[in-house]
Structure 1
């Protein structure tokens, strides 16, 4: 019993929290929708009542032998036709209102999802597979679950109004009949709701399988993988993997849906028997002369309306239950705590930074408890160019993520002019950083917008945009296009597709457009560049880094010789720190890496 109370309380809470969303999304449409839904719910009873009056009037006229006058007949006919016409006219308007309201509701919920996700200032939630499964499920179903919620509420309201009005017609004839039919339907509602909950929970628990299905579909249907899939003949492999994920998900869902259908149809027999008994009683009363012909017709039509609307009510209640379970997950997501504690408003960022950035005994573990960094201590001084080198997985990029506060250290701290980074105003701090990461974004926007994403003020300032274009050495590329900075990019919307090196230069321009930033982060900035472009970039490196504290992460050691200091990482530890010449004289890990690349590329000290 306690479990039922908890379940019902959670269900009711989600339902009552969902209703304000409808109002917030489209208050004007909701007012009209409520009005026409109530009117549409009353109209069947009006039609039944007018039909009763017509039949009784005709029966009295035939029995008495009097002629039925137009004064009596025409108002009844006009009333019946008017009710029928109004019901027909309302339907398309309700569809239009629902469509408009659903558009706004979907956008409203999507915005709430995006804004909540934006509140997660770090990356920890996005690298948690359970959280990502939940977020993907919410995102995938946002286009039709809110619509289902809206349609269910409209249908439930309409059916409920019709049921109440029909009960009002039936009670004077036999008060117990609506009660019997309703009681016979309750088990069907309860059982259907329980199985609806089980189906939703199973879908949620199996969301990784659903995500795998979507992933394998994207592999087969997007251009990014088309070459390898055809060259390596991988289509059968991925289709088989899709089928495996589908079977795993479908078998459980099919079993639960079958059980739901079996019990719903079995319990529907109980409801039908209740209707049969009521119909038998009405026929018996009519033969005894207790009911007029109009009353019999009213009873039969009302019983039909009552049964149909009760079935519709049950069906929409079950669907509403499934949609409310989605809304529960949605509200759980909105209510989820923010893992990174943000100081609001936080201390002001030093401008300029004077004593430097100190990593003090920093440890970091990823959410899955993998050790990424251990006992890291060093200082980056203002205006200094620091290169961080090491093999893959050494912890180089993790240092950058900590510096940008995409993560907080598990132990230790990062100090900026003696102030703990966690106490600084986060927005101000990130505004002081310009950077290019390995996995930079390819945005389906114009060329100028792709650059201005680094500093949105550049959208209104051609001078800032042109400065970044020149710094990234893409003037020729931009001027090649007839529409220059207004050239749409990316295949998604029919824009121009750039090469990997051109996209990377665009990402560099996105960093340089943030002219006032004190810190420049370059994480493998030349990974997609050809040798000539890489040479040109590093030849101009001193100019690019002028006036900024620069942190360069790279595998290509030939490019780090101009750095003021080089930090050598290995397996999450800082093992060497010095200039290029100092590290070569040390004869340690850096020397080993340098000699390997020197032999391969034919470079000298």
Structure 2
């Protein structure tokens, strides 16, 4: 169960705290499987077996897909709408009611204007026309439209609040689920496709959808469309025949005025939506954190260092700030222009535009008002029916994206044990004991096994060096030991317990590591190092100590902004320019992203591992080629530090150490050496014993000296 942060921003009072979608998911495993199977079946290409539509592709509107859409809607829609409604029950109910009411506005507006035209026609026909009477009628119409505008403005504000909460909720759920999933789960192509379509569903809440995307709150527009259609049909039924086709065609000229006004710049008043500098930085941070949650290359370190909750909390804070910046834009603009724009003067002049025609129709029994109302109602019916058809087609596609979202929220990490199988991790006095028995592993999509029948025993507190040629399976074995990937066959025991019975997050709290393909975060030095132990990210003392242990203090001190220097993972050093009062652009040093060399990045990664290496709960230090880019002297100092932090204050060994290296002079530091060839351990023992054996290790060692 994920824990969701509460709102801490006073300005975000309109955003409800995120609630777990698990409260709204289908109640049984059978229902969850049903939703997933229906979603997957909708992507099947009928003419090709085992072939699927690309994520986001349109589903054909046919009988099988209609049945699948019904299954998904039956299993998911009510639960999802229920949890979204629970975010703002009163406001959501009010939003639905107001949309129904607003649907009657166009018909009521047309009927009101028709009454004005009819009364003007009667006044002119009787010869008692006066401008004072016209002004009185137009004043009444303006007041009616003003009231309508106020209702519409309130409804829009209320709707924005509801939609912001819903948008934050689904985005939060999506990011949280992404952070929960492990590498083996994300390696499944069906899971990846499900998450991609789930992303499209989440995007639909941002108004970023495009063709085929319709969020659940857009369904509320159906109430307005249906009420509008019903009101126009009632108006048409109330009208009598005898209309003049020529007059009906002449009334089309009234549509010219809105076009002219819009071309003249009076059609709409949009507020300035540009970001301030602070908002731009917040938007950048929000997107960077979201990319971390979706990143495959950073996934191992996010899982191992337990960065998920921090990323989720930080993203939520940035996202709420952005929603606040985006939401109340209407309050930042001038009230009067917005009010006048909403009244729509061109629509009010509709009656005036037809006054010259009244003299021509004095002898006619036709009512100009009824003709105008009939014309506008017919057009509105055609337009509304078209909107309904378009919305229905989009809703049909949206159901399958909703199914993907519901299915994605119920994906369980493959490495996570069932609740009844979980065992608590118990530490040994000297570190972690590891026993591998006939381990094998094959990467998805590969025919050849990367690990084959690997067996060894490492006692608590011992040091193991894993050596071998490139491609022999060393890094794969490290990932299996770290529970980044699972093994296909065999057993892996940690402190005498099957490692599969540990919760990965609990197990990861007991280890620290430097991966061969370590992460380079586009962030500050402080964050790049502090991610190793996120609880101490705010402690400058802890970060500086880790940097010192990682031999990175010399070059970090020389960086432009020290720990605050932003690092560029690509290795480039782009400048961000700001304008001076004279108009000349100057580089802004606070926004420089500094590039590092390979050796400097490696020291940052080592420092990240040292953030938690000396903590009492850490039982295993695993380093995969940690000094490959460092010189011999730096390498020796790093391994001296590893030896130091793996001992208690009394000097006794308190942690198990595993390191992978291609430098066999370093391997001599280990108690035991594992020689790997073709995915298996061919030799295992001390440096001296393997040299005496005269096998592959001895040959490799003699070639290196």
Distance 1:557 1:28 in 2: 70
Seen in structure 2, the aligned counterparts of structure 1 residues 499 and 96 have a Cα distance that, compared at 3 Å, is: farther
Give 1:523's match in structure 2, choosing from 624, 639, 642.
624
Task: Please name the residue that 2:577 is paired with.
Answer: none
Distance 1:22 1:71 in 2: 52
Task: Please name the residue that 2:609 is paired with.
Answer: 511
SS of residue in 2 equivalent to 1:371: coil
| Matched-pair contact (CA < 8 Å) for 1:43–1:83 | no
Task: Please name the residue that 2:548 is paired with.
Answer: 470
* Cα-to-partner distance string for 1:69-105 (whole Å, 9 max, x where unaligned): 8998666534433454566677787777777766655
Give 1:534's match in structure 2, choosing from 629, 635, 638.
635
Give 2:679's match in structure 1, choosing from 558, 572, 583.
572
Could you tell me how far 1:518 is from its partner in structure 2? 1.3
Instruction: Say whether residues 1:362 and 2:424 are aligned partners.
Output: no
Seen in structure 2, the aligned counterparts of structure 1 residues 554 and 335 have a Cα distance that, compared at 3 Å, is: same
Task: Please name the residue that 2:595 is paired with.
Answer: 497
* Cα-to-partner distance string for 1:550-583 (whole Å, 9 max, x where unaligned): 0001222222111110011112211100111211
| Matched-pair contact (CA < 8 Å) for 2:197–2:404 | no
| Matched-pair contact (CA < 8 Å) for 2:461–2:655 | yes
Task: Please name the residue that 1:315 is paired with.
Answer: 390
SS of residue in 2 equivalent to 1:386: strand
Instruction: Say whether residues 1:430 and 2:508 are aligned partners.
Output: yes
Task: Please name the residue that 1:238 is paired with.
Answer: none
| Matched-pair contact (CA < 8 Å) for 1:393–1:571 | yes
Could you tell me how far 1:532 is from its partner in structure 2? 4.3
Seen in structure 2, the aligned counterparts of structure 1 residues 477 and 33 have a Cα distance that, compared at 3 Å, is: farther
SS of residue in 1 equivalent to 2:675: strand
Q: Which runs of 5+ in 1 are unaligned?
A: 176-285
1:47-66 equivalence runs, <5 A: 47-61=109-123, 65=126
Distance 2:517 2:240 in 1: 73
Could you tell me how far 1:132 is from its partner in structure 2? 3.2
Seen in structure 2, the aligned counterparts of structure 1 residues 594 and 445 have a Cα distance that, compared at 3 Å, is: same
Q: What is the aligned length?
A: 484
Task: Please name the residue that 1:391 is paired with.
Answer: 469
| Matched-pair contact (CA < 8 Å) for 1:521–1:552 | yes
Seen in structure 2, the aligned counterparts of structure 1 residues 479 and 2 have a Cα distance that, compared at 3 Å, is: closer
Distance 1:59 1:589 in 2: 107
Could you tell me how far 1:587 is from its partner in structure 2? 1.6
Distance 1:143 1:579 in 2: 57
Higher helix share: 1
| Matched-pair contact (CA < 8 Å) for 2:428–2:495 | no
| Matched-pair contact (CA < 8 Å) for 2:466–2:676 | yes
Task: Please name the residue that 2:665 is paired with.
Answer: 558
Task: Please name the residue that 1:241 is paired with.
Answer: none
| Matched-pair contact (CA < 8 Å) for 1:390–1:396 | yes
Distance 1:131 1:2 in 2: 23
Task: Please name the residue that 1:416 is paired with.
Answer: 494
| Matched-pair contact (CA < 8 Å) for 1:454–1:513 | yes
Could you tell me how far 1:447 is from its partner in structure 2? 1.4
Task: Please name the residue that 2:522 is paired with.
Answer: 444
Could you tell me how far 1:437 is from its partner in structure 2? 0.3
Distance 1:420 1:477 in 2: 43
Distance 2:84 2:372 in 1: 40
| Matched-pair contact (CA < 8 Å) for 2:434–2:459 | yes
Distance 2:382 2:642 in 1: 79
Task: Please name the residue that 1:167 is paired with.
Answer: 233
1:240-255 equivalence runs, <5 A: none
Distance 2:643 2:497 in 1: 29
Give 1:401's match in structure 2, choosing from 471, 474, 479.
479
Instruction: Say whether residues 1:124 and 2:222 are aligned partners.
Output: no
SS of residue in 2 equivalent to 1:563: coil
| Matched-pair contact (CA < 8 Å) for 1:146–1:323 | no
Task: Please name the residue that 1:5 is paired with.
Answer: 67
Seen in structure 2, the aligned counterparts of structure 1 residues 163 and 82 have a Cα distance that, compared at 3 Å, is: farther
Q: Which runs of 5+ in 2 are unaligned?
A: 1-62, 242-360, 575-590, 648-653
Task: Please name the residue that 2:104 is paired with.
Answer: 42
Distance 2:690 2:93 in 1: 74
Distance 1:144 1:77 in 2: 41
Could you tell me how far 1:359 is from its partner in structure 2? 1.2
Task: Please name the residue that 1:77 is paired with.
Answer: 138
Seen in structure 2, the aligned counterparts of structure 1 residues 110 and 543 have a Cα distance that, compared at 3 Å, is: same
SS of residue in 2 equivalent to 1:527: coil
Could you tell me how far 1:381 is from its partner in structure 2? 0.9
| Matched-pair contact (CA < 8 Å) for 1:363–1:373 | yes
Seen in structure 2, the aligned counterparts of structure 1 residues 98 and 389 have a Cα distance that, compared at 3 Å, is: farther
Seen in structure 2, the aligned counterparts of structure 1 residues 340 and 568 have a Cα distance that, compared at 3 Å, is: same
Task: Please name the residue that 2:325 is paired with.
Answer: none
Give 1:298's match in structure 2, choosing from 355, 373, 376.
373
SS of residue in 1 equivalent to 2:523: coil
| Matched-pair contact (CA < 8 Å) for 2:69–2:399 | no
Task: Please name the residue that 2:423 is paired with.
Answer: 347
Could you tell me how far 1:378 is from its partner in structure 2? 1.3
* Cα-to-partner distance string for 1:345-392 (whole Å, 9 max, x where unaligned): 833322235682211222223333642222222111111110111222
Could you tell me how far 1:511 is from its partner in structure 2? 0.9
Could you tell me how far 1:39 is from its partner in structure 2? 4.3
Seen in structure 2, the aligned counterparts of structure 1 residues 330 and 384 have a Cα distance that, compared at 3 Å, is: same
TM-score (norm 2): 0.61
Instruction: Say whether residues 1:327 and 2:402 are aligned partners.
Output: yes
| Matched-pair contact (CA < 8 Å) for 1:444–1:489 | yes
| Matched-pair contact (CA < 8 Å) for 2:69–2:400 | no
Task: Please name the residue that 2:449 is paired with.
Answer: 371
* Cα-to-partner distance string for 1:37-64 (whole Å, 9 max, x where unaligned): 444322111111112322343445556x
| Matched-pair contact (CA < 8 Å) for 1:568–1:590 | yes
Could you tell me how far 1:143 is from its partner in structure 2? 3.9
